[in-house]
Amino acid sequence: MAYDVSLKTDPSPLPLRPGILILLHKRKKMFIAYTTNCRGRAAVLATMIRHRKTKRNHLRDLPEGGVKDFTVVATKVGLEKNKADEAVTRLQRHYEGRGFKMFGGSRSALPKVVLNGKRMTIVDAMEAAGTKDDYQTVYRRIQRGWPVKQALGIEARQ
């Protein structure tokens, strides 16, 4: 399917590497997130903008407008996940200082869960629980609302 309007990107084309993507709207709105594939995530963002009326639009508070009203900037290309949250916070403060407001909520590069009263990354929780499931399976279970112990396989699903 061809579109007559494409998302403006900097750099163009976006790299196929990890980095921080900043989605800027012309009305001084922004969304900042770490991604493992800048070009792939930009394509997903463009699709969300084009199809904003569907029920499965995961970017809440998406400002009104078409693709031409947005620009995607990739920065910190090659950044490691363990440094991403701090870098995203710094960039968010930088853009807020320039008058931008966040939309879509914040997202962590290293999602955290609470297991036995301790806050830790999903990877650490999987290691502590000795789960045999892969990361993506556990992550999606938690994302769907499963209790952490059931998502990790510690407790049976009811």
Enumerate the domain spans of the chain: 8-102, 112-151
Report pLDDT for 42: 93
> Has this prediction a pTM greater than 0.95?
no
According to the model, what pLDDT value does residue 90 have? 93
d(CA 109, CA 88): 9
Report the pLDDT value the prediction gives residue 77, as an integer from 0 to 100.
95
- Please report the pLDDT score of residue 3 as a whole number: 58
**102 with 92: CB under 8 angstroms?**
yes
Position 74 scores a pLDDT of 95
Residues 52 and 54: their CA atoms lie apart, in Å, by 6
101 Cα distance to chain centroid: 17
Render pLDDT for 137-157 as a digit per residue (tens, 0 to 9): 898 898 889 999 999 999 988
pLDDT in tens, 81-137: 889 889 998 999 999 999 999 887 666 777 889 999 998 888 889 999 999 898 878
Contacts (Cβ under 8 Å, ≥6 apart) of 20: 32, 33, 34, 35, 74, 75, 76, 79, 84, 87, 88, 91
Give dist(CA 20, CA 72) in Å, integer.
10
Q: Which residues contact 147 (CB under 8 A, 6 or more apart)?
A: 155
Q: Which tens digits make up the pLDDT trace of 30-65?
A: 999 888 899 999 998 998 888 887 766 667 688 888
DSSP string, 23-56: EEETTTEEEEEEES-HHHHHHHHHHHHHTTTSTT
Instruction: Specify whether the CB–CB gap between 104 and 31 falls below 8 A.
Output: yes
Q: What is the pLDDT of residue 106?
A: 64
Is a pLDDT exceeding 50 seen at residue 14?
yes
pLDDT at 55: 62
